[in-house]
Amino acid sequence: AQVVWAGASVASSVPPLLSMDLGYLSAIGLLQHEASLLPHGQVSASRRCTDGLCVVEVDGRTADDGAAAPAFCHARELHENDHEDVLVTLESGDGAPAVLPARVTSAFFSAELCIAGVMPLSFDVRLTVLDRDGKQLEPEVWAQLAGLDASSATQVTAALQALRGLPASSFLSAPGLPGKLGAVPPVAVLCRVIGTAASCGASVEVQESFADVQEFVCSYFDLLCEMMRPTQSDFMGLISVKEALPHVYCVDVESRVVLASCFVRIQEYYECPDASIRRSRFTLDEFKRWYREHSRKDAASPVGFNFYLAWPGFNVPSWVLDDVRAGLLGPLRPQEEALLALVPQEDGPHYVIGVCEGSTETLQHELAHGLYATCPSYCQRVQASVTSLPQGCRDALRLRLLSSGYADDEGILTDEMQAYMVAGGTLASEIEQSASARAAQEEVLAAFREHAAGSY
């Protein structure tokens, strides 16, 4: 393998990794970590010196972490402008060299790469967020990745470069970008960058105003909406609605952050555990403040506003939408207006669920909610199964749901119990530990398969 670099080595001290949900990122195609590009072997390196650019060649020598560079080397002069803007060229012998630039700039980010270590080769990335005019937003560094290996640095660079040439006005959708990067491209790229760093064991540090990287991602989406001011029409192009079951309408959105942003206030109006928010008028900022305060595990472990990444699916009965249309939630944001405009209004009770494309388990969970609300025969069967559970088992399921952020409302909790029995997830371990719960789950599953056949 061959390595060529230009620039000074920079050491970093970064707090331990703040992890992303790697399983989710992988499932939606935003994380594709590959093996290292650099096997041990010959190394050729160029570095900038005070008197111009010099090259140090090392043949067949390797060193452990922290070891000094090998003594066997040769130097030669290069023109000052050679490899301009190129930090490293990586050659594995398997194809075209991978070129890592010293900086990647798009309409959304400016990322500065530097070499953090040589043996083995590692990189740091400093990420700055730009406003709609391409100007740097304070603070200077919003996130820093430290200790990327060569393969991960290459993938991070490729993700950031995918945004080049994309105008800021296309922040919600860019169908021409590869894979899942086309849905809210800057947020998708940010998820891939952070997820790639996490997958290789690199450290991720975000500016101190964010409690964690999830809050950084969610807050960045809201910042984009604030800067770009998308309209109801812009969001309507991202949402599809179909009647998945009689009187059950499924809202399908490719981007998880867009889906959650559409539903956040509507969902919490329906079932927030805090009575001051549930069925009350509140703004998104007011909910964010409540969420940060009440989602923390303890005083020493704050949880940021990670709502857009924490919840993969949503469900609300039609009376909630009636209340929202009547103004009881307050002025609506464009994404909420788009959602209400696309969901058909029926004369009688109906139900609305929201999922991301391709998420079968989430769809099953939300369909179970829809059936519970609209199909009396299904509701009666699963209620009988859940309410027949021994009190100790039911209490264990209830406590698990409350600790996950659900409202202490008997109707909501019973509905959630049957939905998790259908699709698994949060209650899986509690159900597995109880023979009675497993038997009830089989009964619920049988009822679901009978009533939802062909809908997923």
Both 210 and 246 in a single domain?
no
Ranges of residues in the chain whose predicted pLDDT is under 70:
1-84, 92-95, 296-302, 454-456
Domain count, the chain: 2
Both 82 and 115 in a single domain?
yes
- Of 150, 39, 46, the closest CA to residue 93 belongs to 39
Both 160 and 271 in a single domain?
no
CA pair distance 355, 256, nearest whole angstrom: 8
Sign of CA dihedral 215, 220, 223, 225: negative
Q: What is the predicted pLDDT for the residue at 301? A: 59
Q: List the beta bridge partners of residue 245.
A: 248
Q: What is the predicted pLDDT for the residue at 429? A: 87
Both 372 and 409 in a single domain?
yes
Question: What is the value of pTM for the model shown?
Answer: 0.80
CA pair distance 125, 128, nearest whole angstrom: 10
Q: Which of 169, 195, 223 is the last residue of a domain?
A: 223
- Is residue 152 domain-resident? yes
- Is residue 234 domain-resident? no
Residue 379 · residue 372 · CB < 8 Å: yes
- Of 166, 184, 263, the closest CA to residue 224 belongs to 184
Both 250 and 364 in a single domain?
yes
- Is residue 219 domain-resident? yes
Q: Which residue has the tokens 């597995």?
A: 432
Sign of CA dihedral 158, 162, 168, 174: negative
Both 362 and 391 in a single domain?
yes
- Is residue 195 domain-resident? yes
Q: Which of 223, 258, 281 is the last residue of a domain?
A: 223
- Is residue 122 domain-resident? yes
Both 149 and 48 in a single domain?
yes
Residue 93 · residue 83 · CB < 8 Å: no
- Is residue 230 domain-resident? no
Instruction: Say how many C-beta atoms besides its own lie within 10 A of residue 93's C-beta.
Output: 11
Write out the residue range of the structural domain in which residue 183 sits. Answer: 2-223
Both 182 and 249 in a single domain?
no
Q: What is the predicted pLDDT for the residue at 48? A: 36
| Torsion of Cα atoms, 362 then 364 then 367 then 369, to 10° | -70
What are the two backbone dihedrals, phi and then psi, of residue 32, each rounded to the nearest 5 degrees?
-135, 75
- Is residue 231 domain-resident? no
Q: What is the predicted pLDDT for the residue at 30? A: 55
Starting at the earlier edge strand, list the strands of the sheet with 109-117: 103-105, 109-117, 122-129, 143-148, 203-206
- Is residue 316 domain-resident? yes
Q: Which of 176, 193, 223 is the last residue of a domain?
A: 223
Residue 132 three-state SS: coil
Residue 373 · residue 270 · CB < 8 Å: no
Both 280 and 172 in a single domain?
no
Both 145 and 217 in a single domain?
yes
Q: List the beta bridge partners of residue 53.
A: 48, 78
Both 18 and 96 in a single domain?
yes
